[in-house]
Chains A and B, each alone.
Chain A
């Protein structure tokens, strides 16, 4: 990626995501339409051919993720994007990719659920990303942007992360981030990087042994060995790419934790609480798998209590509780179904907890 050639534009999160992907070297896109992320495939259908890439609308999300599986096995930088019901359908394919140790990037613009739900913003696929990804021991490495700029940058970077850890990498956002417009310093499309996938299938003459992409290991010990290898990469990822941002007071009474769009609400809430005389510090994970437990534990030691804010009924809060390990009480401000917590509500809870 050529950092120096960024241009400032005013674009939607969806467009920023699509352009981030092309800047990250993505040249293959397989997906199935679903609101609120349709502008991503539409952008890809118009622009991927311009950079020599391939766009294909799959017949379903089940097919899309398996096309991704095939393209990744063939050595490509590939991605799919969807929203909650579509990500549900991709679970099996993701499990196969994790088991076969294949990289890919997927974006989930989360919407209100469960079921058909609605097209409003939500954060209720946290478990789907960090606990789900189908059956078996495996997760998506999960990045949680909170702005149009971060959607762009994280998506671009996700390809490198996926390749490094040979694991599906998810950009987890929501309907607001997808549709809102903000200034974004856009990266130019990069040249297609040479496929450096020694494990990929394809023509190879006599240069190597044959490659088999597979997640079937009937021998228990062999299967466990694959699992250990996967877990070792997760441990490495925890060391190398765990990322977060902090905002607010250095001497907080209250620790505030939120990711994605909710963390934007919390920034404002931390400011408001400060005006009302309560010092608060926001820790907002930019990665939720691996999870930044350390700063959360550190501030929990000092704070009287923690307030966790999410647009779901209590998923992210569980990871915060695991990090806090009882150091202070943890309270949830949660909403669901397309509603997101309001600044006033978060401030009220902060004040209530400290009174």
Chain B
């Protein structure tokens, strides 16, 4: 009976059975699943190394069923560089939060990108420090209240939000740069497509790839999961527009230029 049924949905092979420790409604879990599906689809699980960083996703090494290295706060791009220089054919991805990547690790990410280092970064932007209890992040929106901006972030006190993709887009090194949102199903589908593209870029040896995922933190935003998803779509995307900024794989394949690539128009 089941023989003529096609399997359309299954638990990804690249995820372990370990129960994830994220809060209800947190999209870290969504991001994990998308990355795992991509690893499965590309058949690279056995030669992938996961770099866990410091943030709520610190236990990524328990969730991804791959080899893994746990890195100090912000330094994963340097660790990735070390691994790739020793083992160029190993697929390496760093899973970094906004505090990890855009605050303490800003030097490492910029230089790895500028070198065009051939690894992939999954960048979870939830505009807050989740793990340490909701402090301001470099990506915190103006006006957003956090535990260290109790009156709301103001530019004179704490400066402006950092747009990582746009910043890296000024460099020649990156081969793939995209921003997607983990909100509604169409956005999530686009996010997966971008993640796949990023890994394909690495497999093709084209250089540095990064996908920024606008993500929720219902716990420290003080919102319900649904409100948080709405907040991503309505507020975060205003500051952080969804776009594919760079896609050298497409250029190589002779496809259309980056402007009409996934993300927009769906």
Interface segment out of the listed B43-51, B145-153, B231-239: B145-153
Q: In the bound complex, do residue A32 and residue B104 qualify as a contact, i.e. CB atoms below 8 Å apart?
A: yes
Q: In the bound complex, do residue B138 and residue A45 qualify as a contact, i.e. CB atoms below 8 Å apart?
A: no
**Residues of chain A whose beta carbon lies under 8 Å from any beta carbon of chain B:** 32-35, 38, 41-42, 45-46, 55-57, 59-62, 85, 115-116
Residues of A within 8 A of B106 (CB): 59
Residues of B within 8 A of A41 (CB): 135, 148
* Partner pick for B73 among A42, A45, A57, A85, CB 8 A cutoff: A85
Q: Total A-B residue pairs with C-beta atoms closer than 8 Å? A: 50
* Partner pick for A60 among B104, B147, B150, CB 8 A cutoff: B104
Q: In the bound complex, do residue B135 and residue A116 qualify as a contact, i.e. CB atoms below 8 Å apart?
A: no
Q: In the bound complex, do residue B132 and residue A34 qualify as a contact, i.e. CB atoms below 8 Å apart?
A: yes
Q: B70 at the A/B interface (Cβ < 8 Å)?
A: yes
Q: B77 at the A/B interface (Cβ < 8 Å)?
A: no
Identify 20 residue pairs between A and B in the complex whose beta-carbon atoms are under 8 Å apart, listed by A's number.
A33-B129, A33-B133, A33-B135, A33-B148, A34-B132, A35-B132, A38-B132, A38-B135, A41-B148, A42-B135, A42-B147, A45-B147, A45-B148, A45-B149, A56-B157, A57-B148, A85-B72, A85-B73, A115-B72, A116-B58
- For B71, the closest partner residue in chain A by CB is A116
A35 to B73, CA, bound (A): 13
A330 to B73, CA, bound (A): 39
Expressed in whole angstroms, the minimum distance between the Cβ of B221 and any Cβ of chain A is 16
The B119-153 residues at the A interface (CB cut-off 8 A) are 129, 131-133, 135-136, 138, 147-150
- For B102, the closest partner residue in chain A by CB is A59
A56 to B132, CA, bound (A): 17
Residues of A within 8 A of B207 (CB): none
Q: In the bound complex, do residue B158 and residue A56 qualify as a contact, i.e. CB atoms below 8 Å apart?
A: yes
Residues of B within 8 A of A61 (CB): 104
What is the interface residue range for chain B against chain A?
A: 20 to 34
A62 to B136, CA, bound (A): 18
- For B135, the closest partner residue in chain A by CB is A33
Q: B54 at the A/B interface (Cβ < 8 Å)?
A: yes
A35 to B55, CA, bound (A): 11
- For B133, the closest partner residue in chain A by CB is A38
Residues of A within 8 A of B104 (CB): 32, 59-62
Residues of A within 8 A of B133 (CB): 33, 35, 38
- For A55, the closest partner residue in chain B by CB is B148
Residues of A within 8 A of B72 (CB): 85, 115-116
A304 to B134, CA, bound (A): 52
A239 to B132, CA, bound (A): 41
**With A33-B148, A34-B132 in contact, is A59–B103 under 8 Å at CB?**
yes
Rank and list the top 3 A-B pairs by shortest CB-CB distance, nearest first. A60-B104, A33-B132, A33-B135
Q: B74 at the A/B interface (Cβ < 8 Å)?
A: yes
A61 to B106, CA, bound (A): 13
Residues of A within 8 A of B103 (CB): 32, 59-60
Residues of A within 8 A of B149 (CB): 45
Expressed in whole angstroms, the minimum distance between the Cβ of B208 and any Cβ of chain A is 22
**With A33-B129, A38-B147, A45-B148 in contact, is A116–B70 under 8 Å at CB?**
yes
- For A63, the closest partner residue in chain B by CB is B104
Expressed in whole angstroms, the minimum distance between the Cβ of B106 and any Cβ of chain A is 7
Q: In the bound complex, do residue A57 and residue B70 qualify as a contact, i.e. CB atoms below 8 Å apart?
A: no
A163 to B99, CA, bound (A): 34
**With A33-B148, A45-B149 in contact, is A57–B132 under 8 Å at CB?**
no
Expressed in whole angstroms, the minimum distance between the Cβ of B21 and any Cβ of chain A is 14
The B84-137 residues at the A interface (CB cut-off 8 A) are 99, 103-104, 106, 129, 131-133, 135-136
Q: In the bound complex, do residue A46 and residue B150 qualify as a contact, i.e. CB atoms below 8 Å apart?
A: yes
A143 to B135, CA, bound (A): 28
- Besides A33-B135, A60-B104, 12 more A-B contacts (Cβ < 8 Å) are A32-B104, A34-B132, A35-B131, A38-B133, A41-B148, A45-B150, A55-B148, A56-B157, A57-B148, A59-B106, A62-B104, A85-B72
A35 to B104, CA, bound (A): 16
Expressed in whole angstroms, the minimum distance between the Cβ of A29 and any Cβ of chain B is 10
A62 to B147, CA, bound (A): 21
Expressed in whole angstroms, the minimum distance between the Cβ of B101 and any Cβ of chain A is 11
Residues of A within 8 A of B147 (CB): 38, 42, 45
Q: B73, B106, B136 — which one has the most chain A CB atoms within 10 A of its CB? A: B73
Q: In the bound complex, do residue B54 and residue A116 qualify as a contact, i.e. CB atoms below 8 Å apart?
A: yes
Residues of B within 8 A of A33 (CB): 99, 129, 132-133, 135, 148
Residue-wise, chain B 7-31 has the 8 Å CB interface mask toward A (1 for contact) of 0000000000000000000000000
A16 to B70, CA, bound (A): 34
Expressed in whole angstroms, the minimum distance between the Cβ of B52 and any Cβ of chain A is 10
A42 to B148, CA, bound (A): 5
Q: In the bound complex, do residue B58 and residue A57 qualify as a contact, i.e. CB atoms below 8 Å apart?
A: no
Residues of B within 8 A of A45 (CB): 147-150
A57 to B136, CA, bound (A): 8
- For B99, the closest partner residue in chain A by CB is A33
Residues of A within 8 A of B148 (CB): 33, 41-42, 45, 55, 57
**With A38-B147, A116-B54, A116-B58 in contact, is A60–B74 under 8 Å at CB?**
yes
Residue-wise, chain B 198-233 has the 8 Å CB interface mask toward A (1 for contact) of 000000000000000000000000000000000000
A59 to B70, CA, bound (A): 21
A219 to B13, CA, bound (A): 64
Residues of A within 8 A of B150 (CB): 42, 45-46
Residues of A within 8 A of B138 (CB): 59
A120 to B70, CA, bound (A): 19
A57 to B147, CA, bound (A): 11
Expressed in whole angstroms, the minimum distance between the Cβ of A71 and any Cβ of chain B is 16
Residue-wise, chain B 170-199 has the 8 Å CB interface mask toward A (1 for contact) of 000000000000000000000000000000
A213 to B15, CA, bound (A): 54
